[in-house]
């Protein structure tokens, strides 16, 4: 497994209409210009094989935006990003799930969207059921699922055996303790095999068990880059003094 991330001077610009609603670049061309703000600006970092990086920062700092750029959900307005390897991402609870469909049907659909053939997606359904721990609920509509169940299904369906780069955005915090351990173990497996993990969340003890390096993000910029334990201590001291971060759980 060879996984790397190269980000250079990344920038994401959000445009707003006069009612402060975010609009896409195409819609922005058709409307009178309102205001704009940079969600990311001049973000530069590298991630090497075998690294697990935790994103620290208050809500609205740009952590989720950065993960979406790495996942290819957002296209940078400035700079360049290159992610080498197969990506599995879980960026929000229930992302990509269709509520009327069963867990099985959703898992099949997500597999095809991830690039599997229909036969390959079907062949791994029992593995997804087993890994999600949903048992009989796998055959029920997702509309009946709790947030934790949706997160379980999303992770089990997105994480393919050949995943090189795992991106997690706070969704692991919706999981129960038992399944958090499953996610942690899988993250450690990927790192041990030479992959890359990038995770954001406010549950710092959980990130501490996964990550060895941290990026402190604020205002769309990387404020600091360093060993996770050291940077976590600095960040929490700053955040608590500012009243912007809850006490770690």
**Would you state the pLDDT for residue 19?**
52
Q: Each residue of 235-246: pLDDT tens digit?
A: 989 887 776 654
Strands, DSSP E only, in 28-100? 35-47, 52-56, 78-84, 87-90
Q: Whole domain around residue 151: which residue ranges?
A: 98-157
Question: Is residue 211 pLDDT above 80, yes or no?
Answer: yes
Number of domains the chain is built from: 1
Lowest mean pLDDT among 18-27, 133-142, 205-214: 18-27
In a domain, 108, yes or no: yes
**Would you state the pLDDT for residue 45?**
97
**Would you state the pLDDT for residue 91?**
81
> Are 105 and 88 in contact, with CB atoms under 8 Å apart?
no
CA distance 57 to 55: 7
Phi then psi for 17, rounded to 5 degrees? Answer: -85, -175
In a domain, 175, yes or no: no
Q: What does pTM read for this prediction? A: 0.82
**Would you state the pLDDT for residue 16?**
63
**Would you state the pLDDT for residue 1?**
61
In a domain, 241, yes or no: no
- Report residue 30's pLDDT band, with 50, 70 and 90 as the boundaries: very low
In a domain, 171, yes or no: no
CA distance 48 to 165: 11
In a domain, 153, yes or no: yes
In a domain, 77, yes or no: no
Q: Each residue of 163-193: pLDDT tens digit?
A: 999 999 876 667 777 788 888 889 999 999 9
In a domain, 129, yes or no: yes
> Are 107 and 184 in contact, with CB atoms under 8 Å apart?
no
- Report residue 88's pLDDT band, with 50, 70 and 90 as the boundaries: confident
Six token digits for residue 229 = 């334990």
Pick from 245, 160, 158, 162: nearest CA to 207: 245
CA distance 41 to 221: 6
DSSP structure class, residue 102: B
- Report residue 31's pLDDT band, with 50, 70 and 90 as the boundaries: very low
Question: Is residue 204 pLDDT above 80, yes or no?
Answer: no
**Would you state the pLDDT for residue 148?**
86
DSSP structure class, residue 12: E
In a domain, 238, yes or no: no
């Amino acid at each position: 497994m060879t996984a790397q991330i190269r980000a250079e001077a990344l920038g994401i610009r959000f445009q707003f209409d006069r009612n402060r609603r975010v609009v896409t670049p195409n819609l922005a061309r058709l409307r009178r210009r309102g205001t704009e703000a940079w969600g990311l600006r001049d973000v530069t970092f590298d991630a090497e094989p075998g690294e697990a990086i935790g994103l620290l920062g208050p809500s609205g700092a740009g952590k989720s935006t950065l993960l979406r750029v790495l996942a290819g959900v957002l296209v940078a307005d400035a700079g360049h990003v290159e992610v080498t390897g197969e990506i599995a991402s879980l960026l929000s609870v229930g992302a990509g799930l269709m509520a009327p469909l069963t867990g099985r049907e959703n898992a099949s659909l997500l597999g095809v969207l991830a690039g599997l053939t229909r036969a390959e997606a079907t062949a791994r359904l029992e593995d997804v059921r087993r890994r999600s721990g949903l048992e009989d609920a796998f055959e029920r509509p997702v509309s009946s699922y709790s947030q934790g169940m949706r997160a379980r299904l999303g992770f089990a369906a997105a994480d393919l055996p050949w995943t090189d780069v795992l991106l997690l955005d706070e969704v692991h915090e919706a999981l129960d303790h038992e399944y958090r351990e499953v996610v942690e173990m899988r993250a450690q497996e990927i790192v041990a095999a030479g992959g890359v993990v990038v995770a954001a969340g406010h549950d710092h003890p959980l990130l501490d068990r996964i990550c060895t390096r941290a990026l402190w993000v604020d205002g769309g910029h990387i404020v600091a880059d360093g060993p996770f334990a050291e940077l976590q201590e600095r960040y929490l001291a700053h955040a608590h003094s500012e009243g912007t971060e809850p006490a770690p759980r």
